[in-house]
Structure formats: C-alpha cells, structure tokens
Amino acid sequence: MPHFLLALLLGVIEGITEFLPISSTGHLLIAEHWLGTRSDLFNIVIQAGAILAVVLIYRERLWTLAKGWRDPESRDYVFKLGLAFTITAVLGLAVKKLGFVLPTTVTPVAWALIVGAAWMLISERFAERGTPSTRITWTVAILVGLAQVVAGIFPGTSRSAATIFVAMLAGTRDRGAATEFAFLVGIPTMFAASAYELLKLENNGGHEDLAALAVAFVASTVTAFIAVKWLLGYIRTHRFTAFAIYRIVLGAALLLFLPAGA
C-alpha cells in the first residue's frame, strides 16, 4: 500500500475510533497486524489530531469554564476534572514505572472488546433505573480517573466507554452529561500522555516522513471532529447498544478467524 494512503487510512481509523466507545488502541493494533507497525511518533501525531478535534468541538464550553472561574459551579466542575486527571496521571505513571507493556497481539484485544460490550450493556441498563441526573459528583470524578487507567492497561477496553459508563453507574444518569465529562477529562489526559511519549522520543532520533505525518494528522483531526459531532447528536435519542453489538461482532470475528496467539 502506498505510504501516503497508509498514513491516511491509519489517521482515519484513529479519528473515528478515539472517542467512539469502540477502542482506538484496539483498532490500531488490529490494523497494524495487517498493515505493519507504525512508529511511536506517528501514533502520537494521529492522537494529537483527535485531541485537537475535541478541543475545537468543546471550545465554547472550555472558554466558559476558564472565564467563569469565580462561579462556584464552574470552579467545582474544573476541580473535579482536575481530580480525575490527577488520579489518571499518578496511577498511569506508577504503571509505567512498574514496567507494564501493552500487549501487541490481537487476541486480548478481541476479548476486551467483548467484555467491554457486556459492561456497556449492563451499565446502561442499571443506570437507566436510577433517577435522571446531570450532576457530576466527586465519586464520579474519582471513578472516571480510575477508569482511564484501566482502559490504558487493557487495549480494546476503550477509554471513552470505560469513563462514560462508570460515570453513569456512579450517578450521572444523563448520557450527554457523562459523555461531556469523559471527553473533557480526556483532553488533558491525552495531551499529557502524548507529551510524555514525545519526551521519551526526544533523544532517539530516527527519520520520519513529515508529509505522511501531516496527512495522518489532518485525517485524524477531520474524522474525529465528524465522529464526535455525530456521536453527541446520536446519544441524545439513542442508547449505546449499537456500539456494544459492533464490539461483540468484531471481537468474535477476531477470535474465530485469526490464528491463536495472533
């Protein structure tokens, strides 16, 4: 496959899957199984594109939170975002220091897709039994921070799925409110993770095709913007059931048609 076309394809995959509850890491691992492994810098660049898209979508909300610092409600929300991020950062660094390495085979990703789908279906069903609420509590913030760490350890889990549904189970019954908090926490989390990986690469050298990186970055940004805008409209009137079914079908197909240990 031509280099630019490969960069475009992987950028699109990252953009579509990063914030949909279907796991970007899992899909990129699957793609690399057939298309070849990309450099760490390439993966950082396409993730940065997806982050930029979400910043653009939530720019008004972010500005409101920034300029409304003296408003108790806005300040409370920012502190909760900060708590969730801090938990993720501290525990994430601890996991790195312990030498944890992400699995590079597809089989554990397939199982994570299936188990994550069951988690989504069960969580949404239980959440709907509670009283509707858009409130983000301190418990929600703590659990969202922990959920991000779990998602980072098990590719295929999906950071967005883990955080959205733990928020809904912990009391934020409104899908839109849970999704917004999960996505806003994801902005500093993903920026920090990208910066951390970039610093590790600083002295490694190596050659990268800058034109291909640019293609991948733009593709990731544009597709993530479209995907997130669509998702935010979709969840106003729909459950997450379709995403769970997709995960089950994909996970089962990977287990059935890929050789063991692939």
Residues 238-252 have pLDDT tens digits of: 999 999 999 999 999
Instruction: Give the tens place of pLDDT for each residue, 28-59.
Output: 888 877 777 777 788 888 989 999 999 999 99
Range of the domain at 113: 3-257
Domain presence at residue 120: yes
Total of domains in the chain: 1
Burial of 67 (0-12, 13-18, 19+ CB in 10 A): exposed
Domain presence at residue 189: yes
How far, in Å, CA of 45 to CA of 163, rounded? 23
Q: Is residue 153 pLDDT above 70, yes or no?
A: yes
Report residue 226's pLDDT band, with 50, 70 and 90 as the boundaries.
Answer: very high
Q: Is residue 204 pLDDT above 90, yes or no?
A: no
Select, from the ranges 19-23, 140-144, 207-211, the one with the highest average predicted confidence (pLDDT).
Answer: 140-144
Q: Is residue 134 pLDDT above 80, yes or no?
A: yes
Task: Cite the DSSP H helix spans in 58-137.
Answer: 59-67, 72-97, 106-127
Domain presence at residue 151: yes
Query: The whole model's pTM is what?
Result: 0.89
Report the chain's mean pLDDT, rounded to a whole number: 88
- Report the phi/psi class of residue 233: left, alpha or beta, with left for phi > 0 and alpha for psi in -120 to 50: alpha
Domain presence at residue 222: yes
Domain presence at residue 187: yes
Report residue 2's pLDDT band, with 50, 70 and 90 as the boundaries.
Answer: low
What average pLDDT score do residues 67-92 get?
93
Report residue 202's pLDDT band, with 50, 70 and 90 as the boundaries.
Answer: low
* pLDDT for residue 96: 82
Domain presence at residue 262: no
Domain presence at residue 38: yes
